[in-house]
A and B are shown apart, each in its own frame.
Chain A
Amino acid sequence: MFEDRPDIVERVVSYLKRPVRIDAALDRRVMEEIASVAPPRARGLLTAWLTGRRIAVSPLGALAAAAGLAAIVVVAYRGALSERAGAGATGEGVARQYSFVVRAPQATRVSLVGDFNDWDAARTPMRRVGAESAVWTTAVPLAPGRYRYAFLADGSRWLADPAAPLARDEEFGPPSSVVTVGGS
Chain B
Amino acid sequence: MPSPVRLTLPVVAVFASVTAAAQDPRIDRVPAESRAAVVALIDSARGAGLPVEPLMQRALEGTTKHASGERIVAAVRHLAGDLGRARDALGAPASPAELNAGAMALRAGASSETLAELRRARRDALIVPLAVLTDLMASGVPADSAAAAVLALAATTRDADLVAFRQAVERDIALGAAPGPAAAAAASSFSAAPQASGAHGQQGAQPRKP
Q: Can you report 19 residue pairs joining A to B where beta carbons are below 8 Å apart?
A: A55-B5, A69-B9, A87-B53, A88-B53, A89-B97, A90-B101, A91-B97, A96-B208, A100-B210, A118-B56, A119-B64, A145-B131, A146-B100, A146-B131, A164-B210, A172-B67, A180-B163, A180-B166, A184-B160
Residues of A within 8 A of B208 (CB): 96-99
Residues of A within 8 A of B5 (CB): 55
Q: Does B125 lie within 8 Å of A99, measured CB to CB?
A: no
Q: Does A92 lie within 8 Å of B127, measured CB to CB?
A: yes
B189 contacts chain A at the CB level, 8 A cutoff: no
Q: Which residues of A contact B (CB under 8 A)?
A: 48-49, 53, 55, 69, 72-73, 76, 80, 83-84, 86-93, 96-101, 113, 115, 118-121, 139, 144-146, 148, 152, 158, 161, 163-169, 171-174, 176-184
Residues of B within 8 A of A144 (CB): 97, 125, 127-128, 159
Residues of B within 8 A of A148 (CB): 61
Q: Given known contacts A55-B5, A119-B60, is B104 in contact with A72 (CB within 8 Å)?
A: no
Interface of chain B residues 29 through 51 with chain A (CB within 8 A): 29, 51
Residues of B within 8 A of A183 (CB): 125, 127-128, 159
Which residue of chain B is the closest to A101 with respect to CB atoms? B209
Q: Given known contacts A76-B16, A120-B64, A144-B128, is B97 in contact with A92 (CB within 8 Å)?
A: yes
B96 contacts chain A at the CB level, 8 A cutoff: yes
Residues of A within 8 A of B187 (CB): none
Chain B interface main SS type: helix
Q: Does B160 lie within 8 Å of A145, measured CB to CB?
A: no
Q: Does B61 lie within 8 Å of A173, measured CB to CB?
A: no
Q: Which of B127, B130, B158, B207 contacts A139 (CB 8 A)?
A: B207
Residues of A within 8 A of B125 (CB): 92-93, 144, 183-184
Q: Does A91 lie within 8 Å of B127, measured CB to CB?
A: yes
Which has the most chain B C-beta neighbours within 10 Å: A76, A93, A164, A165? Answer: A165
B20 contacts chain A at the CB level, 8 A cutoff: yes
Distance in angstroms between the alpha carbons of A69 and B62 in the assembled complex: 37
Which residue of chain B is the closest to A146 with respect to CB atoms? B131
Q: Does A180 lie within 8 Å of B135, measured CB to CB?
A: yes
Q: Given known contacts A88-B53, A92-B95, is B71 in contact with A184 (CB within 8 Å)?
A: no
Q: Which residues of B contact A (CB under 8 A)?
A: 1-2, 4-5, 9, 13, 16-17, 20, 26, 29, 51-54, 56-57, 60-65, 67, 71, 74-75, 78, 95-97, 100-101, 104, 124-125, 127-128, 130-132, 134-135, 138-139, 158-163, 166, 170, 202, 205-210
Q: Does A88 lie within 8 Å of B78, measured CB to CB?
A: no
Q: Would you list the 7 A-B pairs with minimal beta carbon distance, nearest first?
A: A88-B53, A182-B159, A179-B210, A146-B131, A99-B207, A115-B57, A182-B160
Distance in angstroms between the alpha carbons of A67 and B13 in the assembled complex: 15
Q: Does A120 lie within 8 Å of B60, measured CB to CB?
A: yes
Residues of A within 8 A of B16 (CB): 73, 76
Distance to closest chain A CB from B202 (angstroms) = 7
Which residue of chain B is the closest to A167 with respect to CB atoms? B138
Which residue of chain B is the closest to A178 with respect to CB atoms? B135
Residues of B within 8 A of A180 (CB): 128, 131-132, 135, 163, 166, 210
Distance in angstroms between the alpha carbons of A148 and B54 in the assembled complex: 11
Q: Does B26 lie within 8 Å of A118, measured CB to CB?
A: yes
Which residue of chain A is the closest to B204 with respect to CB atoms? A96
Distance to closest chain A CB from B150 (angstroms) = 12
Which residue of chain A is the closest to B20 with respect to CB atoms? A80
Q: Does A83 lie within 8 Å of B128, measured CB to CB?
A: no
Distance to closest chain A CB from B3 (angstroms) = 8
